[in-house]
Amino acid sequence: MNRLIPSILMLFLLLAGCGGEIENKKPTPDLDTIMNDGGKSDELFEEAKKIYYSMPSPLELTTLIKQAGGEFQKGLALNTKGTSDYQSTLKQGMILGVYGADLSYTRVYEQQQESLLLLAAAKRLAGTIGIHDAFSNNRVERANNNLNNKDSMVSILSEVYWEINGQLKDENRNEIAMLVMVAGWVEGLYIGVTLADVSNPNDEIMKRLMEQKFTAMQIEDMFEEYSEDNMLAQSRPYFVDILNFYANLPVTEEPTEISEPEDGKFVIGGAKEVQYSAEDFNKLKELALESRTKIVAL
């Protein structure tokens, strides 16, 4: 389906599946229908959209780790009791992204109570930022009553997701949405490297983590292009070490090959591949922990 955007995205990445395949997903609005305004805000919106499409979700990564034998670690998700302690809009936006990635994690491992606590914390935080209607009492109550019904949870969270996106877009606050997304990306990395078995890492998991180089490149480009945006400029130090790490990973490009299968349709081959070592994985784990610690610090 057409998934969007700069957005509170990470808060609702579990919409992609909530721990498994979901049939009859609620269709999402066409992207063209919500991109009618002009100006710098929409340019930032477009940059965020490009980054989003290059990201594997925390849901996808956590599912891979679970399938590889990784076990749920209680306490890995951010404690929701300190939500009100985050005072700046910068911090509030980033913590909202953290909660989103954590929601993917707790849903994959079917931790219903923790998922509900995270959703309630997200409601409080979104209200502080000025987003109220998306987390109505009715929706939270419906979520509470349908924790074990995956289809219902997808529908409820889908409503929240689109309402938040629409409000931020209408109010030209796409820089907040970008902060949510990038902080959620870091939280996804943190969850991935923490759950992965460092002594015997799964090849597919390592590959997914290292391929985040391409997402990191787009995020870095965004920071450079919108360096005059005060909020984005203030947030860059939280992510710069991870971005620099990925920037230094070498990439090899396979030669382009063109083949003609039996159906007569030409296929163009060739792909970029990130080169990495076990030491790189250990370094990423160190940097993800450091970045996450800075993000969640009061």
Per-residue pLDDT of the chain (298 residues; tens, 9 = 90+): 233 233 344 344 333 333 333 333 333 333 333 333 444 556 655 555 555 555 555 666 777 778 777 788 999 999 999 999 999 999 999 998 899 889 878 888 888 889 889 988 988 888 888 877 777 778 777 877 876 676 676 677 667 766 766 777 677 677 887 888 899 889 989 998 988 877 777 888 888 889 899 889 989 988 988 888 899 999 999 999 999 999 999 999 776 555 555 555 555 555 788 999 989 999 999 999 999 999 999 8
Could you give phi then psi for residue 280, rounded to 5 degrees? Answer: -65, -40
Task: Please state the length of the chain.
Answer: 298
127 in any annotated domain: yes
1 in any annotated domain: no
Residue type, 232: L
3 in any annotated domain: no
- Enter the pTM of the model: 0.75
Structural domain range at position 256: 8-296
2 in any annotated domain: no
* Dihedral sign of CA atoms 162, 125, 55, 16 in order: negative
Q: CA 105, CA 52: separation in Å to the nearest integer?
A: 18
Helix (H, G, I), strand (E, B), or coil: what is residue 152?
helix
204 in any annotated domain: yes
Q: Please state the domain count of the chain.
A: 1
Q: CA 275, CA 210: separation in Å to the nearest integer?
A: 8
87 in any annotated domain: yes
The two tokens of residue 196 are 């992965």
63 in any annotated domain: yes
The two tokens of residue 241 are 């070490």
Direct distance between the N- and C-terminal alpha carbons of the chain, in angstroms, rounded to an integer: 38
60 in any annotated domain: yes
Residue type, 84: S
Q: Which residue has the tokens 């890492």?
A: 201
Q: CA 209, CA 156: separation in Å to the nearest integer?
A: 30
